Each structure stands twice: as C-alpha cells, then as structure tokens.
Structure 1
Amino acid sequence: MKPTIYDVAEKAGVSIATVSKVINHLPVGQKTKAKVLAVMQELNYRPSILASALTGKGTATIGFLLPDLANPFVAEMARRVEDRAHERGFNVVICSTDFDRTKEARYISLLRQKSVDGFILAGGFKNVDLIMELLKGHIPVVLLAESYPSLSINSVKVDDFSGGYEVASHLLSLGHRQIAVIAEEASSSQERIRGYKQAMQDKGVKIQNEWIVIAGSSSEDGKRAAAELLDRSNPPTAIFACNDLLAIGVILAAREQGFQIPGDLSIVGFDNTLLSMSSDPPLTTVEQPIQEMCAQVVDLLMEEIEGKGKAKQRIMMMPQLIIRQSTTTFCPGDAVKNPS
C-alpha cells in the first residue's frame, strides 16, 4: 500500500500541517525539515502534484519551452533557469519545440494538464495565439530572449539592435566594407540586422541586401550559406553570423575554400558560447548576460505566480562585444579574390 502524508507525519513525529509545509516549501525549522525529508525518502513517499493543484496550493512546477537544445546557448539557458527555479523552490519541466508550432501546442496542452504554475517561453516561440490564450486564461507566462510589443506580457531579452550595431561598428573600424550577414528566421536576428544596417548607414557605407542571407540556425546552415557567399567572384571580407553555431559553419566553409581566418576573412558570432572559446581561431562574438537574464525571468514568473506582479515589465539588457582572434584589420590593397 502506498504511504500517505499521515504515515509520514506519524513516523516523523510531527503534524500533517508541518509535512504539508515541507512539501510546499514553506518555512519550517531546519531540523524538522530534514527529519520530514528523511522520512519521506525512507517511506518512498511521493506527494500527489495533481492533488496539490486541485486544492489550490499549486504544484511548485513551471513549464519551460525552448526552441533547440542542440544550440549551446539554449542549453545554457535551460541550466540557468533550472538552477534559479530550484533556488526558489520550484521544479522545471523542459520541452524542446524545434521551432515547430505543432510541438508548441502539444507541449502547452500537456503542461496545462499537469497543472504547472506558469510558463517561460524562450526566443523562437512562434505561436502567438497560444500566448494570447494563456494570458486570457490568467496563466502566468513570461518571455525569455523574446518580446512581443503588442502583448501585455513580462519579458527579458538582450538589446539585439545594440549587439548588431557593435559588431558592424567593430568590423567597420577594422577597414571592412564588404560585410555579409548570415541570420536565422527569428525576431532577434532581425533586430541584429537592423543594428548592422544602422552602423553601416552611420558610416556612410552602402547596404547591399545580397550580402544578407537568411538561413536556419545550425552550423550546417551556416556552412551552406557561407559557401555560397564565398563562392562569389568578389566575396565578402567579413561575415557576421547571428549565432555562434552559424559562425562555426562559416569557419568550416572558409577553410574548405582556402580562406585564411582572419587574414582573408574576419568572422563574428553571437552568444559567446563555449564553442566561441574553443574554436580555431577563438571567435570574436557578442556576450549576452545569460545568468542575469535567466534569474530575472524566473523572478518575474514567481511574482506573477504569487500574485505580486502588477505592472508588466519589458526588461532589456545590454550585450558586450568580446574581441578574439577571428577578426583583424582589412587593407583594401590586400583584397583577396576567391582562392578556389
């Protein structure tokens, strides 16, 4: 027979209310808490999440939907969110949607059936109608690395426009003028492109739309897009890849076509993942304050769950350009035609 909360209380020598407080992460003495947890483990007692939800106490669980766990930056977000949620006494159910609307709808439905207390939706979430449905149902939801200005919703993201502007300004300061961009189909990439264009305009450099390529988000996508750019008779002297995975693909394509990095081609990524530090050469990239972003988004969700958050907040954090060995000065007299 499965143990009950009554069995735990009797064996621990405490009241049922005390056991309930431990289960729901409410304040109790450390010794009492340790004793109750030890008894729960000894009896293999597992509190019913659904029963807790039905009594209006919540499940101390949040759903986190993110686009692609294969991306190191997204995987790091998952870890940081989970760590912060655990600090606040919450568990996290992580679902990878692969930018698929059907998966988004399926996971939202599943997590609602599991009575999660709220949702964190990471950048790349495509189904705005689902977000509106959650908001109309008064379900706590916040956005991470994404923002929808038309919706009254809490969000935390980096200033992608500033990031794109910094990258282009850096490359322009090195003498580059033929600067290509490889981007994802995401609002963050569009903002980074907008920043790139503004920097080019401010410097009086003509923007050539054929230098801007929209691809997928993987290293393979970056490699294919870069191969096409570098195969031109007058290839770019610099490429801004809108995430580090794309940048790794650019490096692979450049090597295959005989380009030296950074002598023939300067490359910049975005996200400052471990890939950027371990690549050869180490990658110039843009760092997002991921720890602060993830802590902030969890705290905002907790406020909503606890009914404390009233005014919605759209928090935008500043990125930082990290200069490494994949970019260098370009001299017009040293222009290199396609080596192949």
Structure 2
Amino acid sequence: MAATIKEIAAKAHVSIATVSRVINKDPRVTKETRTQILKIAKKLDYRPNILARSFAQKKSNLIGLILPEISDEYFTEIIKGVDEIAFSQNFYTIVASSHKYKSLEDEVITFIKNGLISGLILLASNLDDKLVSILSKSHLPVVLINSNNKIKKFDRIAIDDYQGAFSVTSYLIKEKGCKYISHITGPVENDDAILRRKGFTDACKKFKVKFTVEEGDFSREAGFNACKKILRLPQHPQAIFAANDMMAIGCYDYVKKINLQIPNDIKIVGFDDVFVSQYLNPPLTTVKVNIEEVGKRAAELLLKKIQSNNGVESSVLNIPTELIIRESC
C-alpha cells in the first residue's frame, strides 16, 4: 500500500500540514525540515494523489491530450514530447483516443465537464463549428495540432505539409527522372492530407508530368490496398508517394508480395519519418517531421497559456519539414 502524508508526518515528527506544505512547495518551511521530509518521503516511496491534490487546491496540474489513436508510432512520439515538457513543469498528462475522430466530441466534453484538467491539447484535422463553439465556451486553454489556417481562436501547431509534399515530388521528378507518379492520399477531409495532396499535384503540374491519385486513410492496410490498385493499372507509375510512412509500409508489403523490387521496379516515398522508416529494406525516402518536437512545442504553448490565466494572444507555430533521402527511390 502507498505511503500517506500522515505516515510521513509521524516519521518526521511534524504536523500533516507541514508535510503538505513541503509537497506543495510552500516556502514557509525551513530548509532543514524540508530536506528531512523529502528524504522520508523518498524512503517510503511516497506518491502524491494527483486528483485529490487538484480538488484540495482548486486548481489542477493535469493537462489533457486527445489523439485520433494512440497505437500508431506517430502519436506515441507526440505523447512523448508533450509529457516531457509537462513533467518538467510539474504537470501530468492524461491521454485519450478519439478513435479516429469517431468519439472526438464526446472526449472533449468529458474532459471539460470533469473539471480535472487545466488545459487541453487536441490533434484534430477537421474541427466543425459545434466543436469550436464547445471549446470556446469552456474558457479552457486549448492548443491544436492542426494545419487548418482558418481556425483563429486557438493556439495552433502547424506542420508545413504543402512544402514537404512539393519537395519530395520535385525530387522524384528532377533528380530521379520520374515522368509518371501516383499519390496515395490520407482521408479526404483531413487538413494535412489535403495540403500534402496539393503539394504533390502542384509539383506534377509545374513540371508537366503524368499523375494519378488514389484515396487512403493513413493506415498500413490502406497503403497495401491502394498500391495493389496502382500496380494493376495497364501502365503503372514509376513512383508512389504515400501521404504518410504507414501507408508507404503497406506499399512495401504489397510490392514484396508480388515479387517486385524497390526501387528498381517501383520507387516509393513517404511522409513523417517515423522511427522504423530507416530500418525498412530498403530504407524509406521520406519527408521528416520532428514529431516529438511537435508535442514539445504544443505543451510549451499550452503551459504558457495556463500560467498566464489564458491571457496570452493566440499564436501559430509552424514546424518545418526536411527531405530525407534514402534508398527506396
């Protein structure tokens, strides 16, 4: 059973109130007493009850993080970045999944109504007016990880999706001589997917090369199925640009199933540079997004809002991308 502040107080021969002051970093305790209490707390492996503390202080050191899902490597890197910054400032992170946006509104309302969090980070590609209204009326500090520049009410972390897609497509055309390229998109209403598709099509039009577009949903399975359709075309392209690395991995799966060689028979590129991309066979050429950095910057913006009582003007922080050239094209 976990130690309590009552047990620490008894061991240190001080009042429960004094132990509470030390735990809450109240300066009205002598250095000697503070050191003694912290030493005993460590020995007893004391862990504060975060929820009880929040209720007692009528303020919370919890922040919420809602992601489309939490199993994908992309999202675990965001969690890592958010948690590192939050923990460094004595905040804890509660993570929830919107199950690919199916329960997004319910998750947001639950976080707001339970009153446990001081602020919320939300990765949501397409916020509707109803959800924007719910967030606005809550007066809760909110940071969005979202590339939609039409949303002005909240702080926002935006990835330069357009330029990243334009760069990798231009590389395939100018450096690799591709005259025909297929693109596997993310979900049609996803803001990141829309910008990546536009970057791709603009580059193809600029350099006057043939292109086709196949719809995906950012999943490995979608990449596999889209690649199957593309490679069954009467004339298949020289390269496939998948709108994220997971779909690119799905392309690898299908290409290997039908015994083609990457990049000799088909070139494949992705977007995100998830950790596993460098260890694929062959290693994947992709557009690097410093995903952990996205989480860190989102947490920093949110904590700044919380500590200023939401009095800081909303801002947008753009995260640049970088072309990572490997052996898949």
Please indicate the TM-score interval, normalised by the length of the shorter structure.
0.7 to 0.9
Instruction: After TM superposition, give the deviation of residue 215 of structure 1 in Å.
Output: 1.4
1:191 to 192, 195, 200: 195
Taking the aligned partners of 1:109 and 1:38, their CA distance within structure 2 comes to 40
Taking the aligned partners of 1:322 and 1:265, their CA distance within structure 2 comes to 18
Aligned to 2:312: 310
Q: Deviations over 1:48-81 (max 9, x none)?
A: 625634643x221111111122321111111221
CA 43–268 in structure 1, closer or farther in 2 if over 3 Å, else same: closer
Q: Does the CA-based 8 Å contact 1:24-1:60 persist in structure 2?
A: no
Taking the aligned partners of 2:32 and 2:258, their CA distance within structure 1 comes to 63
TM-score (norm 2): 0.86
Q: Does the CA-based 8 Å contact 1:25-1:89 persist in structure 2?
A: no
User: Structure 2: which amino acid aligns with 1:323?
Assistant: I
Aligned to 1:243: 244
Aligned to 1:285: 286
Taking the aligned partners of 2:265 and 2:50, their CA distance within structure 1 comes to 62
1:180 to 179, 182, 185: 182
Instruction: After TM superposition, give the deviation of residue 170 of structure 1 in Å.
Output: 0.7
Aligned to 1:35: 37
Give the SS at the match of 1:101. coil
User: Structure 1: which amino acid aligns with 2:110?
Assistant: L
Gaps of 5+ in 1: 328-340
Taking the aligned partners of 2:278 and 2:32, their CA distance within structure 1 comes to 42
Instruction: After TM superposition, give the deviation of residue 25 of structure 1 in Å.
Output: 5.7
Q: Does the CA-based 8 Å contact 2:74-2:274 persist in structure 1?
A: yes
Report whether the alignment pairs 1:204 with 2:204.
no
Taking the aligned partners of 1:77 and 1:187, their CA distance within structure 2 comes to 18
Aligned to 2:80: 79
Q: Does the CA-based 8 Å contact 1:99-1:125 persist in structure 2?
A: no
User: Structure 1: which amino acid aligns with 2:191?
Assistant: S
Instruction: After TM superposition, give the deviation of residue 4 of structure 1 in Å.
Output: 6.8
Q: Deviations over 1:114-154 (max 9, x none)?
A: 51111111244655523431222210110125445233110
CA 54–21 in structure 1, closer or farther in 2 if over 3 Å, else same: closer
Question: Which deviates the most, 164-173 or 67-76?
Answer: 67-76
Aligned to 1:336: none
Taking the aligned partners of 2:33 and 2:171, their CA distance within structure 1 comes to 57
Taking the aligned partners of 2:252 and 2:263, their CA distance within structure 1 comes to 10
Aligned to 2:64: 63
Question: Which deviates the most, 20-29 or 186-195?
Answer: 20-29
Give the SS at the match of 1:152. coil
Taking the aligned partners of 1:41 and 1:128, their CA distance within structure 2 comes to 52
Q: Does the CA-based 8 Å contact 2:223-2:246 persist in structure 1?
A: yes
Q: Does the CA-based 8 Å contact 2:69-2:99 persist in structure 1?
A: yes
Question: Which deviates the most, 123-132 or 301-310?
Answer: 123-132
User: Structure 1: which amino acid aligns with 2:263?
Assistant: P
> After the TM superposition, which residues 237-276 of structure 1 pair with which residues of structure 2 at under 5 Å, given as runs?
237-276=238-277
Provide the aligned length of Structure 1 versus Structure 2: 322
Taking the aligned partners of 1:273 and 1:260, their CA distance within structure 2 comes to 22
Q: Does the CA-based 8 Å contact 1:247-1:268 persist in structure 2?
A: yes
Q: Does the CA-based 8 Å contact 1:8-1:40 persist in structure 2?
A: no
Report whether the alignment pairs 1:110 with 2:114.
no
CA 232–296 in structure 1, closer or farther in 2 if over 3 Å, else same: same
Give the SS at the match of 1:81. helix
CA 90–222 in structure 1, closer or farther in 2 if over 3 Å, else same: same
Give the SS at the match of 2:44. helix
Give the SS at the match of 1:248. helix
CA 254–303 in structure 1, closer or farther in 2 if over 3 Å, else same: same
State the Cα RMSD in Å.
2.9
Report whether the alignment pairs 1:101 with 2:105.
no
Give the SS at the match of 1:73. helix
Report whether the alignment pairs 1:92 with 2:93.
yes
CA 43–222 in structure 1, closer or farther in 2 if over 3 Å, else same: closer
Taking the aligned partners of 1:266 and 1:99, their CA distance within structure 2 comes to 29
